Amino acid sequence: MPRPLVLILDFGSQYTQLIARRVRELGVYSEIIPGTAKLAAIRAKKPDAIILSGSPASGYRAAAPQPDAGIYAMGKPMLGICYGFQVTQQLMGGEVHKAKHAEYGVATFVQDGKSPLFAGVPKRFRAWMSHGDEVKALAPGWVKVAHTSNCAFAAARHRTLPFHLIQFHPEVVHSPYGKQVLSNFLFKIAKLEGGWSMQHFVRDAVREIRAQVGDGHVLLGLSGGVDSTVAASLLHRAIGDRLVCVLVDHGLMRLNEAEEVRRELGEKRGLNLRVVNARERFLKKLAGVSDPEKKRKIIGHEFIAVFEREAKKLGKIEFLAQGTLYPDVIESASAGHGAQVIKSHHNVGGLPARMKLALVEPLKWLFKDEVRELGRALGLPSHLVDRHPFPGPGLAVRVLGVIEEHDLDTLRQADAIFLEELRRAKWYGRTWQAFAVLLPVRTVGVKGDERSYEKVLALRAVDSVDGMTADWTRLPHALLARAASRIANEVRGVNRVVFDVTSKPPSTIEWE
Ligand code: XMP
């Protein structure tokens, strides 16, 4: 039995990916395609139900993206959200106008009629809206289901077809009954079977990778981070040794990181993995450089050079695999993001075109925590799957100013102690990212009976969802005290430890 598929037509709402995720959380597989996809492309996917997303566009403007009107004749269960509501009404003969009162935020919905979509939802309920247009008159064949004080048609259903429209966003956490509404749509209206899990994802992804790659060869840049590690394991399951992983050890990784990846993926799991020791080369290029952006550029450039050189040695390669995630797809698609949000695998961004490689991106529908779940489904251990994010330029942006090799060693040791103490106190999993930063500042201390004049080390731990904003983690004092005492006593070259208590903004997570 093929698994049921919910196809989400994306009209550009910032929440589209959240809809996909909620549907998967409810145990039904979902995929996103552009809202303007042609009917043939939609039919080819064989969806069991369709969801139309929101959009920043106005349906009555000429440039607004419109679905192929043929989707309505397919007769599949359909849920239109926000813009999906308006554009459906417009295409079916209703009237849409600019709203007198745009609504942004939580509104109270009052149900006027009965709808299976609202089974188990109170007659009056609160839900989150974000719209400047509204439906003024419903198309023939439609019935009103709910209103708000500013919006006469806040939910509607078709009299005979399984079509449902809502003006609010059920996918956001500010809509407390959102999940119930989505669940009603999937199971009561579309009558889909649930039970989809990451194991199914593995099975499908393996089949798709095999179909795409055929008997070709795939190259993957392994960083040791969660995304590339999971992507590598998945590809290995699909095509075995025809996946070649290259780990460029630039000497800027955490303590034992390259070794751990080699042991876990290369030795234990038998991945075809090459670790390239390029430490000297990177250090040489970074010598005397203190500007953070220059450091990043040098590292990115060298990374590509080393990677390309290795790839050339390998002979026939037709594909480049990347652990691109859904948020990366969105990020790359929207211009204007600074270098600080560019992920490490974008380091090989220029390569596919130059080397005429086709891209394989098996994680591109997933969110970070889904990737972690996938990693667990593939049997990867927690210390790989639950790793904190780590910047592509690595410790180079955590040794502030000019980088000396001994500073990298100092930082590695201090960082390892901090992480060890976090794990011991069971705080590693409760903070989003934690690390140490070595400052180019010396202070006076006393070690034994002697005066010391050594560097300051800063500890940073942040709570965040996506790294875009963050607050410092309120770590217990006892934990900080233990980490600071151990670092100042055990790590040579450090005699003072401070804890960073700024949020982002106005600071950033990394110090450089
Ligand atoms: P910032 O410092 O901008 O960091 O608040 C946000 C998140 O991005 C990571 N980061 C990077 N990741 N290349 C990367 O791959 C980079 O140049 C880079 N700079 C910052 C940072 O660790 C945090 O998770």
**Per-residue model confidence as pLDDT tens digits over 134-171:** 899 999 999 999 999 889 999 999 999 999 999 999 99
Closest CA to 34 of 22, 23, 25, 45: 45
Q: What is the dihedral of CA 88, 89, 91, 96, to 10 degrees?
A: -120
Domains 5-189 and 198-385 agree in fold: yes
Supply 336's token pair: 């204007």
> What is the secondary structure of 371-415 as a DSSP string?
HHHHHHHTT--HHHHTPPP--TTGGGGTB-SS--HHHHHHHHHHH
CA distances from 475 to 181, 236, 431, 485 (A): 38, 39, 9, 15
The whole-angstrom separation of Cα 35 and Cα 257 is: 42
Q: Which fold has domain 198-385?
A: Rossmann fold (3.40.50)
Ligand 1 atom at minimal distance to the Cα of residue 464: 24
Atom of ligand 1 nearest to the CA of 510: 2
Of the residues 337, 340, 390, 507, which should be mutated to test ligand 1's pocket, given the most ligand atoms within 8 Å of the CB?
340
Rounded to whole angstroms, the Cα distance separating 242 from 215 reads 8
- Annotated catalytic residue, options 134, 147, 158, 171: 171
Q: Is-contact 194 188, C-beta < 8 A? A: no
Confidence at residue 339, expressed as pLDDT on a 0 to 100 scale: 29
Task: Please answer whether residues 217 and 244 qualify as being in contact, where contact means their C-beta atoms are separated by less than 8 angstroms.
Answer: yes
| Residue 371 annotated in ligand binding | no
Q: Give Cα separations from 251 to 247, 271, 282, 292 (angstroms).
A: 11, 22, 7, 17
Q: Does 169 participate in catalysis according to the annotation?
A: yes
The pair of structure tokens assigned to 320 is 């480049």
AA letter at 471: D
Cα separation, 2 vs 150, in Å, equals 43
What CATH number was assigned to the domain covering residues 404-499?
3.30.300.10
Candidates 390, 448, 158; CA nearest to 260 is: 390
- Which residues are bridge partners to 107 per DSSP? 127
> What is the torsional sign of CA 67, 69, 71, 75?
positive
Point out the catalytic residue in the list 147, 169, 250, 388: 169
Cβ–Cβ under 8 Å, residues 494 and 453: no
**454 catalytic, yes or no?**
no
**Residue 128 near residue 162, CB atoms below 8 Å:** no
- DSSP for 210-243, please give it: HHHHTT--EEEE--SSHHHHHHHHHHHHHHGGGE
Residues 6+ apart with CB under 8 A from 449: none
What is the domain partition of the chain in residue ranges? 5-189, 198-385, 404-499
Cα–Cα distance for residue pair 339/5, rounded to 1 Å: 36
Q: Which CATH code fits 5-189?
A: 3.40.50.880
Q: What distance in angstroms lies between residue 281's CA and the mean position of ligand 1's atoms? A: 23
Find, among 173, 115, 122, 125, the residue nearest to 145 by Cα. Answer: 115
Ligand 1 atom nearest the C-alpha of 389 is 24
Do 212 and 205 contact (CB within 8 A), yes or no? no
Q: Which sign, positive or negative, has the C-alpha torsion 389, 394, 395, 401?
A: negative
pLDDT tens figures, 363-395 = 988 888 899 999 999 999 998 999 999 998 999
> Which residues form ligand 1's pocket by a CB distance below 6 Å?
296, 339-340, 342-344, 389, 391-393, 433, 467, 504, 508-510
Contact of 249 with 276, CB cutoff 8 Å: yes
Tell me how far the alpha carbon of residue 33 is from its chain's centroid. Answer: 18
**Residue 225 annotated as part of some ligand binding site:** yes
323 close to 277: Cβ distance less than 8 angstroms: no
Atom of ligand 1 nearest to the CA of 508: 5
Taking CA atoms only, the protein residue closest to ligand 1 atom 12 is 391
For residue 243, give the amino acid letter. Answer: L
User: Known binder of ligand: residue 227?
Assistant: yes
Residue located via tokens 């009052």 = 110
Query: 3-class DSSP state for residue 99?
Result: strand
Crossing angle of helices 279-286 and 292-313, rounded to 10°: 150
Instruction: Measure Cα distances from 49 to 37, 186, 256, 464 in Å.
Output: 16, 8, 48, 34
Q: What are phi and psi of 5, to 5 degrees?
A: -125, 130
Q: For residue 171, how far is its CA from the centre of ligand 1 (angstroms)? A: 27
Q: How far is the CA of 203 from the centre of ligand 1 (A)?
A: 32
Nearest to 178 by CA among 297, 299, 66, 79: 79
In angstroms, what is the C-alpha Rg of the chain?
26
pLDDT at 341: 35
Q: Please say whether the beta carbons of 9 and 34 come within 8 A.
A: yes
- Using 50 as the pLDDT threshold, list the residues of the chain that sit under it: 332-346
CB 17 within 8 A of CB 32: yes
pLDDT given at position 453: 97
**In whole angstroms, what is the distance from residue 162 CA to residue 181 CA?**
14
Residues, the chain: 512
